[in-house]
Amino acid sequence: MNQDHRLSSYDYTLPETAIAQTPAEPRHSARLLRVEPGAGWQDTTMAQWPALLRPGDLLILNDTRVLKARLKARRASGGLVELLVLEPHRNTTWLGLVKPGQRVRPGEWLQIESPLGQPPAAVQVLGRHGDGGVRLLQFAAPEPEAMEQFLNIYGELPLPPYIRSGCHDEQRYQTTYACRPGAVAAPTAGLHLSRELRQQLDAAGVASAAVTLHVGLGTFQPLQTEDLSQVQLHSERVEISPATVRAVQRTKARGGRVLAVGTTSCRALEGVAALHGGQLQPYSGSVELCIRPGFCFQVMDGLLTNFHLPRSSLLLLVSALIGRQRLLRLYQEALASGYRFYSFGDAMWIPPEAVLSSARGQRFSLPP
């Protein structure tokens, strides 16, 4: 089997001290590793990113907003349980994780406690949903459209487990353009885009358009299948508007570049295009796309991203752009140079000219 198709080929050793526990302040002060064509790279900062772009470039931003999806609940026996609300199912039922799940019986009611001192609210654990420990949760209230308000009263931000220091300012785990509630994790590359940086990008003639991909728990989980040709990822809820499709088409028509801010923006573009024969179209629904080495990107030209977990689907995606061996070598050089990893960590900029020629899809075609 080709090494690029083996999960064990996407492992690396990360010292715990390299995992960022707090975000850079200000946002745009994070370091930026600029990948160059060939084998080189340059050390810069996000503050310098606008100077690396061109007038007419189009940034694709994921405007999802992280829900306060972690709930603390109590059983009738008095035992504590933690819930992580994942996504809506139907009516007032939601999919979620229960910890410790083996103690909670199907049909059992739990009392959700509020960190704000509000009266407890009720939720019923109906039973398992598929594989992987996901449960079906029935809330006594509220209706689905009021779920964010409910979670703001009863929930907490579901920070990744490797962030042990907490987050003193909850807005630092949201992008400055987050407006569509539904994620349980942040699209972390976008955390670097301060309002000041976005103003500089606008002044430089760099446009932006939004997609929505509600980041789920599975995005950051390590893969388990050694043969990567057999990997099946969780589905993700995506929405791409007609306005964003038109912005991409206009950019491509005049020779501009479509640049994804984060792997979630990339998956939204490429996942929807894959459903329509490589053609980006307006869409609202689910996508299931595993981007791995050998993939040809049909819409995205370049990528701004963070440094990702070993054996993760995100590492596969970035490897598809610049090659597995080169990516792992850059990761080792980044570690040696003191870059910070994961959600609150530093960034990597992969310009179109650094992308493997084999990863560039056919010339973008406009619809008839």
- Chain centroid to Cα 191, Å, comes to 11
pLDDT at 216: 82
**Would residue 191 count as lying in a domain?**
yes
- What is the residue range of 94's domain? 70-156
Q: Are 22 and 53 found together in one domain?
A: yes
Do 235 and 130 reside in the same domain of the chain?
no
Listed in sequence order, the residues at least 6 apart from 247 whose beta carbon sits closer than 8 Å to its beta carbon are: 58, 207, 209
Task: Identify the weakest region by mean pLDDT among 90-94, 246-250, 285-289.
Answer: 90-94
pLDDT above 50: residue 368: no
pLDDT score at 38 = 85
CATH code of 183's domain:
3.40.1780.10
What residues have CB less than 8 Å from 337, skipping those under 6 apart? Answer: 43
Residues 136 and 184 placed together within one structural domain of the fold = no
Task: Say if 365 falls within a structural domain.
Answer: no
Final residue in a domain of this structure, among 105, 133, 156: 156
Query: Structure tokens of 74?
Result: 């109590």
pLDDT of amino acid 337:
98
pLDDT in tens, 232-278: 787 889 999 999 999 999 999 999 999 999 999 999 999 999 999 99
What is the biggest distance separating any 2 CA atoms in the chain, rounded to whole angstroms? 65
Query: Do 140 and 224 fall into the same domain?
Result: no
Q: Which of 95, 127, 156 is the last residue of a domain?
A: 156
Q: What is the CATH number of the domain that holds 95?
A: 2.40.10.240
Give the range among 3-17, 213-227, 297-311 with minimum mean pLDDT: 213-227
What digits encode the pLDDT tens for the residues 322-353? Answer: 999 999 999 999 999 999 999 999 999 999 99
Instruction: Report yes or no on 367 lying in a domain.
Output: no
pLDDT in tens, 177-194: 999 999 999 999 999 999
Return the pLDDT at 145.
66
Residues 119 and 193 in one domain: no
**Any domain includes 161:** no
pLDDT of residue 335: 98
Q: What is the pLDDT averaged over residues 294-305?
A: 97
* Residue in the block written with tokens 């995992």: 19
Structure tokens at 61: 């931003």
- The 3-class SS string of 288-346 reads CCCCCCCCCECCCCEEEEECCCCCEHHHHHHHHHHCHHHHHHHHHHHHHCCCCECCCCC
Spatial contact of 78 and 111, defined as CB atoms under 8 Å apart: no
Residue 313 and residue 284 share a domain: yes
Q: What is the dihedral of CA 71, 89, 215, 182, to 10 degrees?
A: -70
The pLDDT value given to residue 366: 47
Residue 338 and residue 213 share a domain: yes
Residue 162: inside a domain? no
136 and 272 part of one domain: no
Whole-angstrom distance, CA of residue 191 vs CA of residue 350: 17
Average pLDDT, the chain: 92
**Which one of 132, 156, 180 terminates a domain?**
156
Q: Are residues 349 and 276 in the same domain?
A: yes
Q: Are residues 42 and 137 in the same domain?
A: no
Q: Give yes or no: residues 146 and 273 share one domain.
A: no
Domain assignment of residue 150, yes or no = yes
The pTM is what?
A: 0.94
Q: How far apart are CA 343 and CA 191, in angstroms?
A: 9
Cα–Cα dist 284/249, whole Å: 19
* Judgement on whether residues 231 and 152 belong to the same structural domain of the protein: no
Domain count, the chain: 2
Task: Note the pLDDT of residue 90.
Answer: 79
Does 83 reside within a domain? yes
Q: For residue 163, tell me if it sits in a domain.
A: no
Residue with tokens 């040696």: 336
Does position 306 have pLDDT exceeding 80, yes or no? yes
